[in-house]
Structure 1
Amino acid sequence: MNILIIEDEPGIYNFLKEGLEEEGYDIMIAADGIQGLEKFAISKPDLVLLDWMLPKMDGIDVCKALHKQDKETPIIFLTAKDTVKETIEGLRAGANDYIKKPFSFEELLERIKIHFRDRQEDEILTLGDIALNKSSYQVFNGDEEISLTKREFALLEFLIRNKGKICTRDEIIDKVWSINFEYDTGVIDVFMNSLRKKLKMNKENGNIKTVRGVGYIANE
């Protein structure tokens, strides 16, 4: 598996390169945003580790450009920014995951393995008229294909996998957002509203219902 690290601090990218190569990954380094986009286009990596604060082009703009090129390649933000507003901005730009600096190498390695494992799955999940194809990253509502962001896709997948079970906001933050520090779970409601709108799903009578003060439940 090939990993592209877009990071301008030599101490960080050398540490990551050495550790990940010991784990058997092939590593490429880009020291600024422009170089990161160029290397991504040429090498087509399997995963990207992306710093937020970069020379020439910041991480948010790089993330948007990467997501536009390829919606399937996982992007993990490595950043000291951790406010709700900044986290939402990063996820909306197309990032799959968000790790706050400083972080442990073991935590990062586990996140990487999870994203690689997810990419290897090939199955179709259903909820009423909704069909989610994990391998092709497609969602259909009847015959209509629905375009979702990575985070909306992951949220929908989690709810479908747990049909009939109340999914609390804390569970969603842990399993979908993969965030293990204190976090405002209100961000989930923002993504849920967007997901329902795209799926043309009625809030009261649709397949995904709100459990007031707790979370959400998906039912046929």
Structure 2
Amino acid sequence: MSYKILYAEDEPFLAQIVCDNMSGKGYDVFLAADGMKALELFNEVKPDLCLLDIMMPLKDGYMLAEDIRRLDAGIPIIFLSAKSLDEDVVKGFKTGGNDYLKKPFSIVELMVRIEALLIRFGKGPDQPAQARVFEFGHCRLDTVNQQLKTSTAVYDLSYKEAALLSLLLQHKNDVLERQEALLKIWGDDNIYNANSMNVFITHLRRMLKDEEGIQIMSIRSVGYKLLC
């Protein structure tokens, strides 16, 4: 299934970059350069999620979000804005936003936040496909029962341990970016959650330390790589 994204942005260069990346991920993107056109498109296409700039001609993002909320109280809305004061962010949430990403932002972070909101609102990819068994080396991860079986022991995992190992396995032999893992599992990439994730990585390394050919590497300032 392809999900429809309404994107309201009056900066052509940024709009092109974001649209290209969303289209590359399989989303159908509907771009509007002002708030009035965005509202028209909203009524036409019935999107699954809205990305709204705040400082736009004809109708700003705050007003647009309020109009959209009157039409659909349940659609996820992400504000993308250079307005970064606390009061701007608070106003974004009060006018109907579910998330607020300050410019300049990482495209990777935006994609993760879109996916997370679609899942939270029951619009994202089916979760049973991710709730499965992974076999690697002489190990077996059961994400449903949160259990890791190695060649020497069986471990009952916490939710975050199972989710983190599952993400590492989905990216096996490739880099799992720290920011992606933090946003998907913790919901925020602040320093406290980053420190927490380091602890969970240490736990997983201890469980897998005797497994030949399996290693969790740290990629400095980027993330982790599970070799298996």
TM-score by length of 2: 0.53
Structure 2, unpaired ranges of 5+: 124-182, 192-228
Aligned to 1:165: none
SS at match of 1:28: strand
Cα deviation, 1:188-219, whole Å, max 9, x if unaligned, reads: xxxxxxxxxxxxxxxxxxxxxxxxxxxxxxxx
Aligned to 2:5: 3
Alignment of 1:31-46 (within 5 A): 31-46=33-48
- Distance in 1 (alpha carbons) for counterparts of 2:188 and 2:117: 14
Alignment of 1:22-101 (within 5 A): 22-101=24-103
- Distance in 2 (alpha carbons) for counterparts of 1:66 and 1:103: 24
Q: RCO (CA 8 Å, sep 6+): is it higher in 1 or 2?
A: 1
User: CA separation of 1:57/1:12 partners in 2, compared to 1, >3 Å: closer, same or farther?
Assistant: same
Query: Is the Cα–Cα contact under 8 Å of residues 98 and 179 in structure 1 kept in the other structure?
Result: no
User: CA separation of 1:58/1:181 partners in 2, compared to 1, >3 Å: closer, same or farther?
Assistant: farther
Cα deviation, 1:6-63, whole Å, max 9, x if unaligned, reads: 0011101111111111101011000100000000011100001100100011111011
How far is the alpha carbon of 1:179 from its aligned partner?
5.6
Aligned to 1:16: 18
Q: Considering only aligned residues, what root-mean-square deviation do their CA atoms show, in Å?
A: 2.1
State the number of aligned residues.
129
Aligned to 1:169: none
Q: One-letter code of the match for 2:83?
A: K
SS at match of 2:121: helix
Aligned to 1:113: 115
Q: One-letter code of the match for 2:75?
A: T
Cα deviation, 1:59-93, whole Å, max 9, x if unaligned, reads: 11011111111111111000011211111111000
- Distance in 1 (alpha carbons) for counterparts of 2:92 and 2:37: 20
- Distance in 2 (alpha carbons) for counterparts of 1:35 and 1:179: 32
User: CA separation of 1:83/1:37 partners in 2, compared to 1, >3 Å: closer, same or farther?
Assistant: same
- Distance in 1 (alpha carbons) for counterparts of 2:56 and 2:190: 24
Runs of 4+ in structure 1 displaced over 2 angstroms?
A: 178-182
Q: One-letter code of the match for 1:104?
A: S
Alignment of 1:165-180 (within 5 A): 180=189
Greater Cα radius of gyration, structure 1 or 2: 2
SS at match of 1:94: coil
- Distance in 2 (alpha carbons) for counterparts of 1:7 and 1:79: 10
Q: One-letter code of the match for 1:60?
A: Y
Query: Is the Cα–Cα contact under 8 Å of residues 3 and 26 in structure 1 kept in the other structure?
Result: yes
Q: One-letter code of the match for 2:55?
A: M
Cα deviation, 1:102-126, whole Å, max 9, x if unaligned, reads: 01100000000101111228xxxxx
